[in-house]
Amino acid sequence: MFDCHCHILPGIDDGSKNVQMSLAMLDMEVRQGVEGIIFTPHFYADMNSPSTFLRRREKALQELEANLNLLPQVPDYILGSEVHYFRGMSRSEGIESLCIGNSNYILIEMPFRTWQPQFIDEIEEITDVLGLRVIIAHIERYFDQDRKLVKRIVDNPNLLIQCNAEFFLGRSANNALKFMKSGRIDLLGSDSHNLEHRRPNLIEAVPVMQKKDKKGALDHIDRVSRRIFEAAR
């Protein structure tokens, strides 16, 4: 398993508050069988420039790495970011620096306010103009948006789709399994922020998926995850 969306780096966003929490979250990931993690702290263009964000991210990583020897085992990891949508992002200087590792994959969180067609235009331009591979974060959170606009994203083969493990748990499980059968889930993430109500939880979702996975959805997710890790090196 690969956790392609999480907030484990300490003290950089609303995720892990300190190194101790980050270490406990990493240990939990290992115990769940997670072999690779993409650290994706939030990037908000109205709060930081890319260069400032990258300095803060590097500082958080250094603080964590200085204590990794306290863990019996550490999963493979690479640096990324969860870039919150902002107007003009397809023409923003430094947007490429927010990609995952050395790859051209970039995780984007769409706005939670009412979508407009130009939002999707902007996302498509990131691919068409900049040549970046856009990953839409937690698509399930946008299913109450205009269906035609959501469909534009889901039907675009150039966009990758990430779902959170939580989508497959509780009341949303049936909808999640139905979406899984469509073949449009490319990546999974815990979107974990802490050790309590938003803890690492891939181990809870994968068995639910396995029971209904007749079209190789999990194999596809694994292949895409490995492809991104290889490209990020």
* String of DSSP letters for 148-180: HHHHHHHT-TTSEEEEEGGGGSGGGHHHHHHHH
CA nearest 24: which of 198, 195, 203, 197? 195
- Mean per-residue pLDDT over the chain, rounded: 97
**pLDDT tens-digit readout, 152-192:** 999 999 999 999 999 999 999 999 999 999 999 999 999 99
Number of Cβ atoms within 10 Å of the Cβ of 71: 13
Average pLDDT in the 93-102 region?
97
Q: What is the pLDDT of residue 119?
A: 97
pTM equals 0.98
Exposed / middle / buried, residue 204 (Cβ in 10 Å: 0-12, 13-18, 19+): middle
Q: What is the pLDDT of residue 190?
A: 98
Q: Are 119 and 93 in contact (CB under 8 A)?
A: no
Domain boundaries, the chain: 2-232
Please give the CATH superfamily to which domain 2-232 belongs.
Metal-dependent hydrolases (3.20.20.140)
Exposed / middle / buried, residue 73 (Cβ in 10 Å: 0-12, 13-18, 19+): exposed
Q: What is the pLDDT of residue 41?
A: 98
Average pLDDT in the 98-116 region?
98
Q: What is the pLDDT of residue 75?
A: 97
Q: What is the pLDDT of residue 213?
A: 96
**Which residue type occupies 106?**
I
Among residues of the chain, what percentage have pLDDT more than 90?
100
**Which residue type occupies 103?**
S
Q: What is the pLDDT of residue 5?
A: 98
Average pLDDT in the 135-141 region?
98
Average pLDDT in the 84-105 region?
96
Q: What is the pLDDT of residue 122?
A: 97
Average pLDDT in the 18-26 region?
98
**pLDDT tens-digit readout, 24-64:** 999 999 999 999 999 999 999 999 999 999 999 999 999 99
Instruction: Please calculate the CA angle 109-189-89 and round it to the nearest 5 degrees.
Output: 20
Average pLDDT in the 85-95 region?
95
Q: What is the largest CA-CA distance in the chain?
A: 49
